């Protein structure tokens, strides 16, 4: 299923006791499904991100939480936006996502990237290194994960990882969609063109027309039809009739929209879909925790603008 409208759940700080935390996550996923979103994503972090909150605020482990959402939903695709490759052994990640695919009856998406949150790595003991180090680790990981997802039994020895006839069974299907997040023109976009089904372009909205041109060139250089590599943009949305642009924090200005559902929908159409990006993944932020109906209102405003 293509990603036209995805919803990312960006935090778990709802102003409730912990006993109501996960029921609120389920409520958001079920609202997204009822409203017509085609996918629901969680962040793959262990600490809340700078700008969103402090490290001690609630953060659920992504794949455990997604397993619960598999039982609480029927239609939406489920995944992370995106898995930090540096947090898990690649064979373990292949096992986790194939398990999610079985539990959800074929609705898992493997979103993956290099990992970037240095403080989180240092605090929890994950090796960080340079971007080149992390990108090389991702390249090795894909040589293990991709064949395992297809039912093969790879043997691989690299600088960072090794496996011997690694098996991931059971599997629900032979091709599980692969999504990568990033914007790098020298490494990430060419890697997406070579291996991936979907590229979430983590660039500012003003950069999207240029990035789409780069994606098309990268595909053409490999002899791939650019139309076969789906693209999406990540949009942070403060859905509030009284919200104005001066409320946007400086560090979020490149990807954040504010205002009524109708206003944000028009902005998404003109700045995302009209420049050639296939889909949008919306991360709704609120002032008072989860506010039921906000994501639905945005979906209802957006659907007629992107029909067809």
Please list the active-site residues. 45, 118
Prior bond of 60 cis (ω within 30°): no
Instruction: Tell me how long the chain is.
Output: 308
- In the three-class reduction of DSSP (H, G, I as helix; E, B as strand; rest coil), residue 90 is classed as helix
End-to-end alpha carbon distance in the chain = 15
- Cα separation, 278 vs 272, in Å, equals 8
- Cα separation, 25 vs 299, in Å, equals 18
User: Under a CB-based contact definition with an 8 Å cutoff, are residues 137 and 160 in contact?
Assistant: yes
- Cα separation, 68 vs 6, in Å, equals 18
DSSP of 195-249, one letter per residue? H-SEEEE-S-GGGHHHHHHHHHHHHHHTT--GGGSEEEEEEEEEE-TT--GGGS-
- Cα separation, 35 vs 270, in Å, equals 22
- Cα separation, 40 vs 76, in Å, equals 6
Q: What is the largest CA-CA distance in the chain?
A: 58
**40: closest CA among 72, 97, 80, 13?**
80
Copy the structure tokens of residue 36: 């017509």
């Amino acid at each position: 299923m293509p990603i036209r409208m995805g919803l990312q759940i960006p935090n778990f700080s709802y102003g409730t006791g912990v006993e109501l935390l996960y029921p609120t996550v389920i409520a958001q996923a079920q609202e997204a499904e009822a409203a017509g979103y085609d996918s629901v994503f969680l962040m793959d972090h262990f600490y809340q991100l700078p700008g969103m909150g402090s490290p001690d605020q609630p953060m659920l482990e992504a794949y455990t939480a997604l397993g619960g959402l598999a039982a609480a939903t029927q239609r939406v695709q489920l995944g992370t936006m995106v898995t930090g490759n540096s947090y898990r052994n690649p064979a373990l990640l292949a096992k986790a996502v194939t398990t999610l695919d079985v539990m959800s009856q074929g609705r898992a998406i493997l979103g993956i990237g290099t990992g970037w949150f240095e403080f989180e790595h240092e605090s929890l003991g994950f090796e960080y290194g340079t971007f080149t180090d992390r990108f090389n680790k991702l390249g090795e990981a894909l040589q293990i994960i991709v064949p395992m997802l297809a039912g093969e039994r790879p043997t691989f020895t690299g600088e960072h990882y090794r496996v011997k006839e690694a098996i991931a069974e059971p599997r629900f299907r032979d091709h599980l969609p692969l999504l990568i997040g990033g914007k790098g023109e020298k490494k990430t976009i060419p890697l997406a063109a070579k291996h991936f089904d979907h590229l979430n372009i983590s660039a500012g909205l003003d950069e999207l027309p240029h990035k789409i041109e780069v994606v098309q060139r990268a595909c053409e250089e490999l002899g791939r039809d650019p139309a076969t590599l789906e693209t999406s943009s990540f949009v942070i949305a403060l859905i509030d009739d009284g919200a104005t642009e001066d409320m946007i924090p400086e560090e979020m200005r490149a990807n954040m929209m504010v205002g009524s559902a109708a206003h944000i929908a028009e902005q998404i159409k003109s700045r995302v879909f009209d420049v050639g990006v296939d889909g949008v993944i919306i991360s709704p932020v609120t002032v008072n925790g989860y506010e039921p109906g906000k994501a639905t209102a945005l979906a209802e405003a957006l659907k007629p603008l992107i029909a067809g």
